[in-house]
Amino acid sequence: MKKNIIISLALGAILSTLTLYLAFRNVPFVDLVSYLTSINYLWIIPAILFSLFTFVLRVIRWQIILASVRKIDFWRAFHPLMIGFMINCILPGRVGEVARPLILKKNDDVPFSTGLATVAAERVFDVGFIVMAFAAVLAYVRIDPGFDMTFGGYHLNRETLEAISGGMLTLCLGMIFGIVVISIETSRRVIINSILGIPSLFFFISPSSKQKIGEKVLAPLVKVVENFAAGFSLVKYPKKILGCFGLSFMIWSLQAFSYYIMSFGCPGIGLSYLELFTVMIIICFFIALPSVPGFWGLWEAGGVFALTLFGVSSKDAAGFTLANHAVQMFPVIIVGLISAVITGVNIWQVSYGKKLVFDS
C-alpha cells in the first residue's frame, strides 16, 4: 500500500474520531451504549434491503444516461457504481466520483471525460431533487431562527441550512447551464474554435512551437470537450430526462423509507415517514459541508439537529443517528468491496493513481 494512502486513511480515522467526539460530547457514553443495546436489530434487515435497492435504481438511472453514448448491461454498470460509492465511504476527497469513470474506461472503453460527464449528470438530478425537497421541508416544518447547535467550527441552524441550500442551488443551475452550453452544437463549436485559436495569441513563438501546442495540448483538450458533450447527450431526449427525474424521486423516497423502517426498532423515535424524510434531507444538507470519509460526525450532528426539531431527546437522537448511519454506510462498503473483488479492480490505483489518462 502506498505511503500516501496510509497517510490518508490515518488522517481519515483521526478526523472521524474527532468529529464523532464533537457530535456526541454532550451525550454520556454509558447512555449511548445503553441506547444502542436497546435497539431491536431485526429491523436492520429490511432497512438495509430498502437502502441497497436504491442503488439498483441508481444503476438503472446511470444506464439511461449512459445509453446515449453506449449501452452497458446492468452488472457492468452496477460494479463501477458500487465501487465508486464504497470509495467515497472509506477515502477522503470523494475520489469515488473519479474512480467510477476510470473503471468504465478500463472495462468498456468509454472515454474518461464522457464517463465523468455522466456522473456529473447524475449529481444534477440528485442535487436538484434535494434542493426542491428542502423547499418543501421549510414549508412543512418550522425551524426556530434562534435554534443553534454548535459542531466544531460550524453553527448548525436555519441560516446554515439556507446558506447551503443557496450554494447547492447555484451549483445545480451552474451545472445545468454548462451542460446545455456544451451540448448545443453552435455554442460547443464556439468553445472549440476558441481553444484552437489560442496559438494565435502567442505571436512571439515560432510556427513549429504553435503546431506542437496544437497537437500536444489543444487537440486533446478539444477531444475532452467533445467527449463531455457526448456524456451530456441525454439533454436531447426529454422522455429520458423525465425518466431520470422519476427514478431520482423513487431513490430518495425509498432511502427515507429505509430510515422509517429503521426507526421501528429504535426507542424514542416515534416519527412519521414525512418527518423522517425531513430528517434525511437535513442530513443531506449538512454532509454537503467539508467532511471526513463517510461523513462521520457531520451526519450525526445533522441527524441530532433534525431529530431535536421534532422533540426527540438528545440521547435518543444520537443513538438512532449513529446506528442508522452505520446501516446506511457499511452495507455499501461491503457490496463495493465484493464488486472490487469480482471485477479485479485495484481500489487504490483507481483512487490515487498518479497516471490519469483522460482519453486514449
The Cα 173–Cα 55 span in angstroms is 25
3-state secondary structure of 320: helix
φ and ψ at 297, to 5 degrees? 100, -65
Rg (CA), the chain: 22
Grid cell 425531513 is found at 278
The Cα 275–Cα 285 span in angstroms is 16
The Cα 353–Cα 261 span in angstroms is 40
Closest CA to 58 of 79, 32, 38, 44: 79
The pTM assigned to this predicted structure is 0.82
φ and ψ at 151, to 5 degrees? -140, 105
Q: Please, which residues bridge with residue 150 across strands?
A: 155
The pLDDT tens digits of the residues spanning 325-335 come to 999 999 999 99
The Cα 359–Cα 183 span in angstroms is 19
Share of the chain above pLDDT 70, in %: 83
Q: Determine the average pLDDT of the residues in 110-127.
A: 88
The pLDDT tens digits of the residues spanning 6-36 come to 555 555 556 556 656 666 666 677 777 888 8
For the ranges 17-26, 138-147, 184-193, 235-244, which has the lowest average pLDDT?
A: 17-26
Please determine, for residue 261, whether its predicted confidence score (pLDDT) is greater than 90: yes
The Cα 263–Cα 153 span in angstroms is 30
